[in-house]
Structures are given as C-alpha cells and as structure tokens.
Amino acid sequence: MCRALGADLVIAVDLNTDQFGAARRNRSGVLGISDGDLTQSDSSESAPLFDRFLIKLASALALEGADHDTPSMTDVVTASINIMQVQITRSRLASDPAATLITPLLAHFALLDFHRAKEVIETGAAATEHVIPQIDSLLER
C-alpha cells in the first residue's frame, strides 16, 4: 500500500517475529508449533500444510499434556492465529520486501497485557534504535 501511495522507502514492523518460539509456552502464553515443526520433512510431507499443522498440533498437545497442564481451547486457538499471522507476514514480506524491517521481540507479552504497555513500548523503541543506522544509510542514498 505504501508503494502504491508513492513511497520511495518502506520501513516495515513485524510484530510476529518470535511468535513461533513463544508457542512452546503453556499457561503463561500460548501453546503452538515451532517453525521447524511445520517445515521439517516427515512422513506427512506430501500432505497439505494445514493437514501437517493438525498432525503437529495433535502431537504437541499430547507432549504438552504429559508434563504440563493440558492447554485450553483458547491456548490452541491463539496458537493457530499466531501461526497464521506469522505465515501471512512472511509471505507478504517475501513478495514485497521492505527496505528495513523492525522486529521487536514481543512473544513474552500476552494479548491482553495492557498493564505492561510501558515495557512493550520500550521493547519497540529498542528494536527501532537497533535499525536507525540502517535507516540513516538508506536516507543518505
């Protein structure tokens, strides 16, 4: 959209960068599938991505239930949404890459952690500070 509106330089922010890593958490966050789990070769490699996701999700649920509390339906739905968001983000960035990508690590924050807004803002500011030299370099060109 930015380029369609005439932007010469696009700076993107990926809020989902570390969602897969966080997906292994249970009650403190979400339960899900790691990125490697969805891309690893296994006996179901020829199955559609969604089918492989369901197989891996069932496997993760069984493993999680062995050592931890069984995840709630909310945990599973949240993990599914996170996986979908990450895949959409990766696809869009691959087809139309930004000049710079800001990637704050937010997985340790829950969806309703409004009371932690200051921490989230500080995390975003730190991630932005990290790419300022790259932005300055792009602007000099």
Residue 3 counted as domain residue: no
Q: What's the rounded Cα separation, in Å, for the pair 25 and 98?
A: 30
Structure tokens at 89: 């983000």
Question: Is there a domain that residue 2 lies in?
Answer: no
Q: Span 99-120, mean pLDDT?
A: 90
Domain count, the chain: 1
pTM value? 0.59
Residue 93: domain span = 11-140
Q: Is the pLDDT of residue 129 over 50?
A: yes
% of the chain exceeding 90 in pLDDT: 29
User: Predicted confidence band at 116 (pLDDT cuts at 50, 70, 90)?
Assistant: very high
What is the pLDDT confidence band of residue 1, given thresholds at 50, 70 and 90? confident
Angle value at C-alpha 50, between 35 and 81, nearest 5 degrees: 65
Given this model, what pLDDT does residue 86 score? Answer: 84
Which residues pair with residue 100 across a beta bridge?
Answer: 11
User: Closest by alpha carbon to 25, among 66, 71, 62?
Assistant: 71
Q: Which residues pair with 13 in a beta bridge?
A: 102
Give the mean pLDDT of 47-73: 62
- Reported confidence tier of residue 137, pLDDT bands at 50, 70, 90: very high
SS3 13: strand
Query: Using CA atoms, how far apart are residues 69 and 58, in angstroms rounded to an integer?
Result: 15
For residue 43, pLDDT over 50 is answered with no
4 domain residue, yes or no:
no
